[in-house]
Structure formats: structure tokens, C-alpha cells
């Protein structure tokens, strides 16, 4: 009789029921992947670790994708949710492009091992299909640097029309993640913040701090204006040597 009861409990467990307990088994783990083209090619994530929930906790999974064009990063978190949560499944596109793309998948569920997304395909499928971007005239630094600064690691590129320069320091903390990285690129106008003041998803908190960003041709505009003023006030002979020294650095 005892053996039959054990087989019955195991069968119910496989079907997603927990007849003798209010606890729940969830996949547990985190990941950070750096690379290129993640907004087109899915990143696989097969998590084998599990955890038992406590109290009113449910299962949770979060996937974050940021692509600046030349570089991409993917963050993932699986584990128990915060208490008093409800079933949620949504994908938020913070920036669809052209230029920087940012999208987050957030899922909370209450069935055994239900947080089982095994790739970032769920993110890619939700990105809108845009017409080919038209190159604009503004050039901006483009960089995504993990645990470092883009100030000395970025390269410049012509931004798509309808975007402007963007630079920030982003941090993600919680849910097994502790990541800080620097990002520069071209963000669709008039959007100012990549994550639009979103501060958290479940157990993962996010902080976005904008830093001053100027296009690489901003300085040349200042130099042209200075030359014009110098010509107006008869100071062009004094400015010429300065221009000769500065121009090679532009």
C-alpha cells in the first residue's frame, strides 16, 4: 500500500501537482553572455539547477537583451519570485532600433519547473521588423563594455537617421546577477533613457545613469563657430596655428 502511494505522489508531481506540500520546484541560475548579433541569433540557456520555493513564492525567469550594433549582451536569471506575485508573462521592448535595441522578457508562474525558457528566441521573436535604416550625418561612439568604461574603448559610427548619441552606465543586481557595464550608441529620438525609468523586474533591480554624450563632429562645429568669430573680430591669424594643432586629433 505504501509503495502504491509513493507511485501516486510521484505521478502527480510529474504532472505538476504537489498534493502534500505548498512548495514549488523552480529552475535556478543566472547567465551573462557577451557577443555580437544577439538580436538576430538566439543564445541557448539550459539550466540544470533547481530550488524549492518558500511561502508564497513562485517561479520566475528574466531575460535581458541589449544590442548596440557592433556588440550585444544577454542577461538571464531564474529562481523563486518575490512573495505575493501573480502569474505574469510579458515581453517589453524598450528600444526597437534603429540603433540600440533593448528588450526584456519577464515570466512568473506557479507550476513545477515552469520557468524553463531555454533560449533568447522569445526576445528575438518580439522585436519588430524594421525597414532598412537610412544613414544619418551624426557620428557617435558605439561601445558595450562589461566591467569597464567606453570612454577609451569605443569606436565611432554614423548613426541611423532619427537617432542621437546616447551614453550611460547600467547596473543589474539581484536574482543571481551582479553586473555593471558601460554603453554608448545611437538611441532613437526623442527617447532619452534606454530603460525608460524602469527600476526592477521581480528580484532583479536595474539602475541607469546617463553620462554626457556628444557626437564626434560636435567639436568640429565648435571649431567652425570659433573660426567664424575670429574672422569677424580680426583674430583669424591667431586661430590658424591652433587649428593646425587640433585638426589632426578630430
Q: Which residues contact 193 (CB under 8 A, 6 or more apart)?
A: 168, 208, 210
β-pair partners for 131: none
Cis? peptide before 116, omega within 30° of 0: no
Q: Which residues contact 143 (CB under 8 A, 6 or more apart)?
A: 68, 70, 71, 150, 153, 154, 155, 182, 183, 184, 185
Neighbours of 207 (CB within 10 A): 14
Q: In which domain, by residue range, is 53 found?
A: 24-210
Is residue 146 a part of any domain in this protein? yes
What span, in angstroms and rounded, lies between the C-alpha atoms of 29 and 79? Answer: 7
Burial of 2 (0-12, 13-18, 19+ CB in 10 A): exposed
Does residue 12 carry a pLDDT above 70?
Answer: no
Q: What are phi and psi of 238, to 5 degrees?
A: -75, -30
Is residue 191 a part of any domain in this protein? yes
**Sign of dihedral through CA atoms 172, 92, 209, 164?**
positive
pTM metric for this prediction? 0.76
Count of structural domains within the chain: 1
Q: Please write the tens of the pLDDT for every residue from 24-79.
A: 999 999 999 999 999 999 999 999 999 999 888 999 999 999 999 989 999 999 99
Q: Are 66 and 43 in contact (CB under 8 A)?
A: no
Is residue 75 a part of any domain in this protein? yes
Please give the DSSP secondary-structure letter assigned to residue 155.
Answer: E
Mean pLDDT lowest for which of 97-101, 178-182, 209-213? 209-213
What does the pLDDT read at residue 154?
75
Is residue 48 a part of any domain in this protein? yes
What does the pLDDT read at residue 129?
86
Is residue 82 a part of any domain in this protein? yes
Is residue 19 a part of any domain in this protein? no
What is the full DSSP assignment across 93-128?
Answer: EEEE-SS-EEEEEEEEE-STT-----BTHHHHTTS-
Does residue 216 carry a pLDDT above 70?
Answer: no
Is residue 189 a part of any domain in this protein? yes
Neighbours of 135 (CB within 10 A): 12
Does residue 185 carry a pLDDT above 80?
Answer: yes
Is residue 170 a part of any domain in this protein? yes
- Give me 113's grid cell: 519547473
What span, in angstroms and rounded, lies between the C-alpha atoms of 152 and 83? Answer: 43
The closest alpha carbon to 76, from 96, 60, 92, belongs to 60
The closest alpha carbon to 38, from 93, 116, 117, 102, belongs to 102
Q: Are 91 and 126 in contact (CB under 8 A)?
A: yes
Amino acid at each position: 500500500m505504501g509503495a502504491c502511494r509513493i507511485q501516486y505522489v510521484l505521478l502527480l508531481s510529474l504532472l505538476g501537482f504537489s498534493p502534500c506540500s505548498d512548495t514549488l520546484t523552480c529552475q535556478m541560475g543566472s547567465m551573462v553572455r557577451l557577443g555580437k548579433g544577439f538580436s538576430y541569433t538566439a543564445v541557448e540557456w539550459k539550466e540544470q539547477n533547481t530550488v524549492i520555493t518558500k511561502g508564497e513564492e513562485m517561479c520566475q525567469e528574466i531575460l535581458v537583451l541589449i544590442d548596440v550594433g557592433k556588440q550585444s549582451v544577454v542577461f538571464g536569471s531564474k529562481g523563486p519570485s518575490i512573495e505575493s506575485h501573480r502569474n505574469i508573462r510579458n515581453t517589453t521592448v524598450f528600444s526597437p532600433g534603429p540603433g540600440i535595441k533593448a528588450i526584456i522578457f519577464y515570466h512568473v508562474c506557479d507550476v513545477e519547473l515552469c520557468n524553463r525558457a531555454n533560449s533568447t528566441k522569445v526576445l528575438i521573436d518580439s522585436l519588430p521588423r524594421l525597414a532598412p535604416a537610412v544613414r544619418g550625418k551624426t557620428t557617435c561612439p558605439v561601445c558595450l563594455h562589461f566591467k569597464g568604461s567606453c570612454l577609451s574603448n569605443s569606436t565611432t559610427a554614423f548613426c541611423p537617421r532619427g537617432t542621437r548619441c546616447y551614453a550611460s552606465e547600467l547596473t543589474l543586481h539581484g536574482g543571481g546577477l551582479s553586473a555593471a557595464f558601460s554603453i554608448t550608441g545611437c538611441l532613437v529620438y526623442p527617447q532619452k533613457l534606454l530603460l525608460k525609468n524602469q527600476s526592477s523586474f521581480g528580484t532583479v533591480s536595474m539602475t541607469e545613469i546617463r553620462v554626457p554624450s556628444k557626437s564626434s563632429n560636435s567639436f568640429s562645429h565648435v571649431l567652425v563657430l570659433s573660426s567664424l568669430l575670429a574672422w569677424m573680430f580680426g583674430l583669424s591669424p591667431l586661430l590658424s596655428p591652433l587649428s593646425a594643432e587640433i585638426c589632426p586629433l578630430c
